[in-house]
Structures are given as C-alpha cells and as structure tokens.
Amino acid sequence: MTVKIFLCCAAGMSTSMVVNNMRKVVTAKSLDIAIEAYSISEFEDMLPRYDICMVAPQVSYKFNDFKKRCDESGKACYKIEMKDYGMLNGEAILNQALSEI
C-alpha cells in the first residue's frame, strides 16, 4: 500500500525543491511513497486523498487548524522542522513523517 504524503506551503517554490529531494530518497530506497506539495488554500480538498500532512515552516501558523482537521479525519499531521526545511533535507523530513506513523 502506497503511503501518501502532502506538504502544505505558501506558494510552493522552496517546497517543490524539498519534495524533489524527498522523492530522490524514496527512489533510492525503493519505498512505496507518493509525495506532493499544495498551497494552504488546497488543504481541505487534498486531505481526503492523503495519509500524512506536513506543514512547512512558513505556514506554521496554520498548524493547529490543520492538525485538528487531520485528527478528525484520522490522518497524521506534522510540522516540518525549520532546520531541515531550510537545508532542503528531504531525507530528514521523510524520516520524520515515517517515524511518527
């Protein structure tokens, strides 16, 4: 079964680089994981389609709202660590998501 992760961000430029780095790790480790990025305005539409929501640091002010909705829907929701996001550390962000499910 494919684990589906979506990252919530503002505009998506830096987040798309994070997603690409996460996908490289998925490919290198032959993991069955799908990863996409969406703006916060798409959160409600995307939530039913994914298992895990990861909230980018620049929109962390939305985390409590997103976490509540994820909890209500039986989905996981995590804040991406600023350090890992800033360094585009896809492996650390992916490990954070997978270690908490």
pLDDT at residue number 14: 80
Query: Which of 9, 53, 70, 77 does the annotation list as catalytic?
Result: 9
pLDDT at residue number 50: 98
Residue-wise pLDDT for 65-95, tens only, equals 999 999 999 999 999 999 999 999 999 999 9
Domain holding 94, by residue range, is 3-99
pLDDT at residue number 100: 64
The verdict on whether 9 is a catalytic residue reads yes
Number of domains in the chain: 1
CATH number of residue 45's parent domain: 3.40.50.2300
Instruction: State both tokens at 5.
Output: 């992760």
Strands in 52-55's sheet, in edge-to-edge order, are 33-39, 3-9, 52-55, 76-79
Its pTM stands at 0.93
Q: Which residue has the higher pLDDT, 14 or 63?
A: 63
In angstroms, the Cα distances linking 64 to 52, 61, 67, 88 are 15, 7, 5, 24
